[in-house]
Structure 1
Amino acid sequence: MSTPNYPLALAIATAGWSNHETARLINDRAQQGGYRGVAIDHSRVGRWIRLGEKPRPPVPELLAGLLSERLGQSYTPELLRLAPGRRVRVLLDAAEHEALVAVAAAANVPVEEYVRALLRSALSPYKGAT
């Protein structure tokens, strides 16, 4: 079962790019960087968004760089869900799970995205600290 890539869709929409423009920018950046095997088209970008397909390197890094430049904030392949993420398993009791699902539904956000946002918010004071 495929899952839409909402973070990528939001970033591209915020940049004001169409799928055509996104593909063109990636191809241009790849050519400038000497990557000969990159040939992205608009339908591929659409599959990344609609189906959650993940492009092969160096495309995630190129796209994250383009979006970072355009939007003035740091994007990574992981934040854009273009790279394999690390999974964490958290066991919740039934009441905790129901509460989490209810809050995510009220926010009209998939529960997985809501949990990621909660974790990022909780961990942001510690980001970069080792």
Structure 2
Amino acid sequence: MRTPNYALALALAQVGWNNSETARRINTLALERGHHSVAIDRSRVSRWIRHGEKPRQPVPELLAELLAEHLGQPYTPQSLGIGPARSLLVLLDPQEHRTLTANAAAANMPVEHYAHALLRKALSQSSVPQPAQFRQQEV
């Protein structure tokens, strides 16, 4: 089951565009750029927001550009949740996995979302650890 795309919903709310207006603006810019096969409608925009579907290229780049222009701040397809996913494999020992799973359940979150939130929090802390701190110790 896919989850709603809150980042995209928030950006569209900030700019004040409904799904029809968003589709119209994407289609207009796509035609201006020579992308004649782009034909977005309001129901497609709704699926991006409500179900977390991701649009095909060149739409993510076009939408990020439109929002950046109208809101005066940088947007990327990734920041809007419509870009290609980047994955990261983290190997956990069984106890670490049990702890992560239990904490995610206590937070009433899917384990992937909980792990993502933990990583974001760690990355946002002001002190940047030096690479030597991450070297594995010999056992």
Q: TM-score, normalised by structure 1?
A: 0.76
After TM superposition, the structure 1 = structure 2 runs for residues 29-108 of structure 1, keeping only pairs within 5 Å, are 29-90=29-90, 91=92, 93=96, 94-95=98-99, 98-99=102-103
CA shift for structure 1 position 42 = 0.4
2:20 corresponds to 1:20 = yes
Stretches (4+) displaced over 6 A: none
The number of aligned residues is 119
- Kindly indicate whether the alpha-carbon contact (under 8 Å) linking 2:7 and 2:81 is maintained by their aligned counterparts in 1: yes
Larger radius of gyration: 2
CA shift for structure 1 position 121 = 2.2
Query: Separation in 2 of the partners of 1:113 and 1:12?
Result: 23
> 1:121 maps to what in 2?
124
Identical residues among aligned pairs (%): 51
CA shift for structure 1 position 111 = 2.9
Gap runs ≥5 in structure 2: 129-139
Query: Separation in 2 of the partners of 1:15 and 1:49?
Result: 15
CA shift for structure 1 position 100 = 6.3
CA distance 1:17–1:100, change in 2 (3 Å): same
Alignment-mate amino acid for residue 25 of structure 1: R
Alignment-mate amino acid for residue 6 of structure 1: Y
Query: Separation in 2 of the partners of 1:55 and 1:2?
Result: 14
- Kindly indicate whether the alpha-carbon contact (under 8 Å) linking 2:8 and 2:49 is maintained by their aligned counterparts in 1: yes
- Kindly indicate whether the alpha-carbon contact (under 8 Å) linking 2:64 and 2:80 is maintained by their aligned counterparts in 1: yes
| Cα RMSD after superposing both structures | 2.5
After TM superposition, the structure 1 stretch with the greater mean CA deviation from structure 2, 7-16 or 54-63, is 7-16
- Kindly indicate whether the alpha-carbon contact (under 8 Å) linking 2:24 and 2:40 is maintained by their aligned counterparts in 1: yes
Gap runs ≥5 in structure 1: 126-130
- Kindly indicate whether the alpha-carbon contact (under 8 Å) linking 2:100 and 2:115 is maintained by their aligned counterparts in 1: no
Query: Separation in 1 of the partners of 2:25 and 2:83?
Result: 19
Query: Separation in 1 of the partners of 2:52 and 2:36?
Result: 24
CA distance 1:96–1:81, change in 2 (3 Å): same
After TM superposition, the structure 1 stretch with the greater mean CA deviation from structure 2, 40-49 or 2-11, is 2-11
CA shift for structure 1 position 82 = 0.9
